[in-house]
Structure 1
Amino acid sequence: MKTLTLFEPQFVEKFACVGSACPEHCCGGWNIQLDKKSANRYLQAKRIDIRALATEHISVTKKSVANWAQIKLDASGQCGFLDEKKLCKIHAGLGASALSHTCSTYPRVSIQKRRDEFNTLTLSCPEAARLLLTHPDGMQVQEKQLLRQLFNSAPEYQDAEKLLNLMCSLLMAKCGVQVEQGLYAIALLCLKLDKVSLDNADDVAQLENTFLALSDSLEKGEVVAHMHAIEPHYLLHYALLNNMQHFIQLRPGSRGFATFSRYLQLLNLDALQDQDDASKSQLMAENSLLWQQKVLPLLQDSPWLIGNYFQYRIYHDRFPSLTSREPLSALYLLTSEWLMIKNLLVAQVKSTGELSQDDVVNIIYSFHSLTKHNKQASDNFYMHIDAFKMNDNISLLHLLK
């Protein structure tokens, strides 16, 4: 028998689907794929009502065994198998075991390495986002030992990746709600990483010393002084946000669009489309000031609202993964996404003078629903972000002011 380690945050353990009570359920606004076994089970069901529904609402595509068919959405963009209470007729008629892999697992995700497994949830689910963001211990991670006949077929989780992931998590934990300081510290860590080899013990020791120095600087508040030297580039802020807005506005029928659009309208980027660069920069500068003066004080009473989000991103993304993007590139993308979320929080406070936990949950779940629901959506979204790097990843520092 082989021993594997399972990691699971508390919010994952607590998750249970809330069914018809969900503010925006997962059976609408998305393409729902069916595996071959599930599609045939519904199309050949002994129950006439299920078979009739399947014949009407299933389109067989045969793209792969896992993607054998697709559920046709009705005129309102909802799954044809929902009843008037937005509950699944398959679940009610054939039982939970009859649900397709997609329907039975969402929003659960298992990230597998050869000897490790990381259970998580996708934040495109409102209930998953609520559990993560509103509970102080939501990202408290438990470890369990599993016995298996074989190791996973995935690659080994290298010690260097584990070390970097832990360092980034600890740096973000040190900064509290001042997340830009944590991102700045991680940027400096990544710059040091570019100059060392993780295969060399002396170089790894240098990296650890850099981490300890950065951690100490965060704890003492010294990072703020270092960040004063960064020249803000507010026109880059506007261009990046406007491009992300354009990407999202191309998805009017997608799940999360109506919720996200309510906050995006408050940001009101469209009003500046025909304005000069100085006007665009001025709005971004005002938002940056409002973040410091009004939004951060509102978050101080519940620092886990933002802290848990960044701990989730580091955990869920295995950040900074050394097998996909370069660490600085991965950090640029994360910082860019935070720029959008941050400005929407500012726009909400500017408009109403208030910021509820529901606002934070709504912004984050709808953002993830539109941009990170699946790999294709993420890749397309990142292509838009990549267009504004000013030819280098280090331009991310201009996004922290």
Structure 2
Amino acid sequence: MNNLVITPNYVNIFSCIGPKCEDSCCNDWGIYFDKKTYKKIVKHPDFSSLAKIAFKEVKTDNDSWAVIELDEQGACPFLNEKKLCKIHDQAGAEALSNTCQTYPKVNNHIAGNRYRSLSLSCPEVARIVLFEPEAFQFEAQISGNKSAAPIPEWQEKSYDYSLELLVGLGLDWEQALLAIGLLIRTSESVANGLEPASALDVRFEQLQKFVQAGLLNEQYEQLSCTPAVQENAFVSVHSKLCKIHSRAHRPRFTRLNEAVNSICNEDNLYSIEELNKAWHNIALPALSESPDLFERFILYSIFHNHFPMLGKDGPLKAFRLLVLDCLLIRCYLSAMAFKYQGLTQSDIILCFQVYQVVRQHRSSFADVIDEIMQELDIQTIPSTISLLKTK
């Protein structure tokens, strides 16, 4: 069997916009150089003087031999007056650090196949993923790579069926997540050896029939709205985000945090009721020209993470994290809509991208989120989906 390279069109469309970027990766970024490239820059006649103050040797290993010392504004000292990279301009792309050569590109190697993607922590990537009409056209090419050990059958079936439940049945995004959650509950049983992989085929067929009969919609409507739990989940995760966000002092994060703070009630507490009201009364009307915004984000997340893969953790954790991602971003959109009485495309991109700076680049943050959900006893599919109910 030939191994493939699978590429969504958002990868082909992307091109770095350099100094026009609203949140440049040349600021507030851990830029590490491998030993060989570092030595080359230090000896380069155009950079030798600057390199003495621009680098700090850490010598963690050969791949992380030195790190850039950012200036007081958090900018890379190798930027010129036009905010373009001097190294790239004068020494070529091969002299760049691995960070600068690859970001925001991501390659996931799974069972011999390569899945190409981009990090949503880049504003231009977020714009393309959320708004470009042809972003999610996919192409597959033969890679020529050697065969690799296959992943468990249940993982591949869970991935394929989750995509189908999202895009193939005409469901709203909240209901699609409920269907995916019911599938993932079976995935958990299969992963733990309690059921055979064929149980996923049976479950998927059942879910298709539930949707066609209107039973899934009925089940979603019967779920309770849990504002107190939603509020605790949002406040807990946002508070953690504020403490560890690498760009918390930058204007984009400040703009978002000020919007969140503007929706505090008379006791100076965040009000989920006001956030949910703002969602229905202001945000949703403002998003009428982008009705598929969350479908796009969920589709990106499933592909980018090869959902429900999550290291050694089980599929239910991956599902809970996906739902909480949606809750946080929806609350951010609601807060921005509340403060500014509407949403611009730039504001929408900000809500998704600023959150992903931590979510995608701090692997430990997933554990922080899951601990919060466990403390709030958000473990079952109904309790998880109830986070999304606003009425």
TM-score (norm: length of structure 2): 0.89
Aligned equivalents of 1:353, 1:75: Cα separation in 2: 35
5 Å matches for 1:116-195?
Answer: 116-148=113-145, 150-151=146-147, 155-174=149-168, 178-195=172-189
CA-to-aligned-CA distance 1:120-159 (integer Å, 9 cap, x gap): 00111111111111112212221111224x346xx53333
State the secondary structure of the residue aligned to 1:111.
Answer: strand
Q: Who is 1:231 aligned against?
A: 224
Aligned equivalents of 2:214, 2:338: Cα separation in 1: 28
5 Å matches for 1:251-290?
Answer: 251=244, 254=247, 257-268=250-261, 271-272=264-265, 274=267, 283-290=271-278
**Pair 1:305-2:293 in alignment:** yes
Aligned equivalents of 1:229, 1:253: Cα separation in 2: 40
Q: Who is 1:244 aligned against?
A: 237
Q: Which runs of 5+ in 2 are unaligned?
A: none
Aligned equivalents of 1:85, 1:352: Cα separation in 2: 31
**Pair 1:103-2:100 in alignment:** yes
Q: Which runs of 5+ in 1 are unaligned?
A: none
Question: In 2 relative to 1, CA 167–300 (structure 1 residues): closer, same or farther, beyond 3 Å?
Answer: farther
State the secondary structure of the residue aligned to 2:143.
Answer: strand
CA-to-aligned-CA distance 1:14-37 (integer Å, 9 cap, x gap): 111111121221111122111111
CA-to-aligned-CA distance 1:71-124 (integer Å, 9 cap, x gap): 000111101111111101101111122112111111101101242110000111
Q: Who is 1:324 aligned against?
A: 312
Question: In 2 relative to 1, CA 168–292 (structure 1 residues): closer, same or farther, beyond 3 Å?
Answer: farther
Question: Percent sequence identity over matched residues?
Answer: 27
Q: Who is 1:382 aligned against?
A: 367
State the secondary structure of the residue aligned to 1:364.
Answer: helix
5 Å matches for 1:208-223?
Answer: 208-218=201-211, 221-223=214-216
8 Å Cα contact 1:5-1:144 kept in structure 2: yes
Aligned equivalents of 2:40, 2:163: Cα separation in 1: 45
Aligned equivalents of 2:379, 2:250: Cα separation in 1: 29
Aligned equivalents of 1:122, 1:219: Cα separation in 2: 35
8 Å Cα contact 2:188-2:316 kept in structure 1: no
Aligned equivalents of 1:191, 1:365: Cα separation in 2: 29
Aligned equivalents of 2:43, 2:275: Cα separation in 1: 57
Aligned equivalents of 2:246, 2:187: Cα separation in 1: 42
Q: Who is 2:89 aligned against?
A: 92
Q: Who is 2:13 aligned against?
A: 14
8 Å Cα contact 2:262-2:339 kept in structure 1: no
8 Å Cα contact 2:6-2:139 kept in structure 1: yes
How far does residue 8 in structure 1 lie from its aligned partner after superposition? 0.6
8 Å Cα contact 2:259-2:336 kept in structure 1: yes
Partner amino acid, structure 2, of 1:267: V
Q: Who is 2:349 aligned against?
A: 361
Aligned equivalents of 1:180, 1:257: Cα separation in 2: 32
Question: In 2 relative to 1, CA 217–346 (structure 1 residues): closer, same or farther, beyond 3 Å?
Answer: farther
Aligned equivalents of 1:210, 1:329: Cα separation in 2: 19
Aligned equivalents of 1:299, 1:272: Cα separation in 2: 25
Aligned equivalents of 1:357, 1:67: Cα separation in 2: 37
TM-score (norm: length of structure 1): 0.87
CA-to-aligned-CA distance 1:337-368 (integer Å, 9 cap, x gap): 11110011112222333223222211111111
State the secondary structure of the residue aligned to 1:358.
Answer: helix
Tell me which of 393, 396, 399 is aligned to 2:379: 393
Aligned equivalents of 2:246, 2:197: Cα separation in 1: 48
How far does residue 174 in structure 1 lie from its aligned partner after superposition? 4.6
Q: Who is 1:348 aligned against?
A: 336
8 Å Cα contact 1:336-1:385 kept in structure 2: no
State the secondary structure of the residue aligned to 1:393.
Answer: coil
Question: In 2 relative to 1, CA 204–35 (structure 1 residues): closer, same or farther, beyond 3 Å?
Answer: same
- Please say which of residues 207-216 and 29-38 is displaced more in the overlay: 207-216
State the secondary structure of the residue aligned to 2:167.
Answer: helix
8 Å Cα contact 2:42-2:51 kept in structure 1: yes
How far does residue 5 in structure 1 lie from its aligned partner after superposition? 0.6
**Pair 1:207-2:200 in alignment:** yes
Aligned equivalents of 1:230, 1:383: Cα separation in 2: 26
**Pair 1:31-2:17 in alignment:** no
Aligned equivalents of 1:263, 1:343: Cα separation in 2: 11
